Structure 1
Amino acid sequence: MTSPYEKALAETDSTLRTDIIEHPFIDVILRGDLTEEVYAAYLRETFHLVTQTPYFLSAAASRSTEGWLQDFFLNLAIEERHHDRLCVQDLRRLGYDTDTYLAGLPGLGTWTMVGQNHWTVSMKDPAALLGFAAATEGLGATLGPKVSAAMVGYPFAERALTFLKVHAEEDQEHIAMVRKAFDRAAVTSQERYDLMVTTWTYTLRAYGQLFTDALSAAKAKVDA
């Protein structure tokens, strides 16, 4: 029998393929054409996202009425704390003045995910974040190791892969936890399942936009 998670995985597969796997950003990395500017822009967008992650996970825990879901979100919030520091560390190792480089607003992709998650927690159902977690932890667990292996071939990134390596390892355990929580939450109602799947799908689309933002930001810097 197909579990809710497996069903959702199949429903979001086409979006994963078109918006993430086939995105030019991934192709650039795997074929050996990534530049330091694009990688730095990716770290900057990621910094703005992971800075907010513990906050909306904590908010989800405080608004959840189910004890097990409160515990899940609190534990994940603790696990995700300080990951912004990994981005800062990597950027400094690339030679960036992080106080200057990280100033300002994030791009559309990060803006969308942060706004989506705070909105679903406060206005809809905190369980929606299980869709976000399924998307992001799933990317870290499946695509993370492949990208990390390719990044080793870039001399400029040799000492600046902390964020990617940590997530390629940790997300293997996290996705197993997310899968169990997703299945447990999904059986409560069709409405909740649909919300989690929609959040999963929109997160993948926004993450693809984050990749586009990184490519565009680096190009703008070159053109300036």
Structure 2
Amino acid sequence: MAADPYQRAVAEAARVQADYIEQHPFVESIMKGTLTPAVYAAYLRETYHLVTQTPYFLSAAAAHSDEEWLQDWFLDLARDERHHNRLCVRDLKKMGYDPDTYLGTIPGLGTWTMVGQNHYLARAGNPVGIIGFAAATEGLGAALAPKVAAAMRQYEFAKDALSFLKVHSTEDQEHIETVRKGFLRCAEDSEAYTVMVAAWKYTLRAYAQLFTDALERGSSDLAAAAPRIG
């Protein structure tokens, strides 16, 4: 029996995820026990900038969608994604960082790309493309976050700073079914399918860049003595 459109998209995206995410040096450092506090903090900072914008571009997508069910779909997800930036702030504080100072820098290329992509899709492109973004991020959260959260327990510096990863390893398991249903409903239109899959693949590549940014910026922060509380 032929795979449904969602399963076809999963198969297409799997190749990108394998090439760009699964063997990324950031992920490997977590699993091998070589992650540093500065790099983990930089990851939280990049993530903070991304999740701060997520409810806004989801709400904008709802405002620019014509179908009521799709408006509701975006708004429901936007509601669920609210305040996740506070989890990053909490984790940084637990690590001794001063969020007011540390979060003041602009995001790196990976976050910048995802935020720009999704605001573009919401307002000037095709809002359904954001379902592809959601498929990528929720899929990563469901598949990768539980493994990463488990591996992070080996780090003393992170033992009280895992709230973001723990929440997403649980919530994304639930969200992925919502994403699948929304994807299938939109995929009846071939143009919508194309833009959703493109956004899915682009998001995975941008997420890999976010990991690279965390590695590079974390090393820079360490050399510059990133601000800490106390």
- Find the aligned partners of 1:48 and 1:124 in 2 and give their Cα distance: 22
| Runs of 4+ more than 6 Å apart | none
Q: How many residues align?
A: 223
Aligned to 2:192: 192
TM value normalised by structure 2: 0.95
TM value normalised by structure 1: 0.98
The residue type paired with residue 73 of structure 1 is F
Deviation at 1:222, TM superposition (A): 3.5
- Structure 1 runs not aligned, ≥5 long: none
Aligned to 2:96: 95
Deviation at 1:223, TM superposition (A): 3.9
SS at match of 1:105: coil
Q: Which digits, 9 at most, give the CA deviation of each residue in 1:94-151, with x for residues without a partner?
A: 0000000000210000000000000011111110000000000000000010000000
The residue type paired with residue 138 of structure 1 is G
SS at match of 1:126: coil
Aligned to 1:71: 72
2:57 paired with 1:53: no
- Find the aligned partners of 2:168 and 2:81 in 1 and give their Cα distance: 10
- Find the aligned partners of 1:221 and 1:80 in 2 and give their Cα distance: 28
- Find the aligned partners of 2:218 and 2:86 in 1 and give their Cα distance: 22
The residue type paired with residue 214 of structure 1 is A
Aligned to 2:220: 220
The residue type paired with residue 169 of structure 2 is A
Aligned to 1:181: 182
The residue type paired with residue 34 of structure 1 is L
The residue type paired with residue 172 of structure 1 is Q
Q: Which digits, 9 at most, give the CA deviation of each residue in 1:177-205, with x for residues without a partner?
A: 10111011111x21111100000000000
Aligned to 1:5: 6
SS at match of 1:104: coil
Aligned to 1:142: 143
- Find the aligned partners of 2:194 and 2:14 in 1 and give their Cα distance: 15
Aligned to 1:208: 208
The residue type paired with residue 130 of structure 1 is I
Aligned to 2:228: none
8 A contact 2:136–2:200 mirrored in 1: yes
- Find the aligned partners of 2:114 and 2:173 in 1 and give their Cα distance: 22
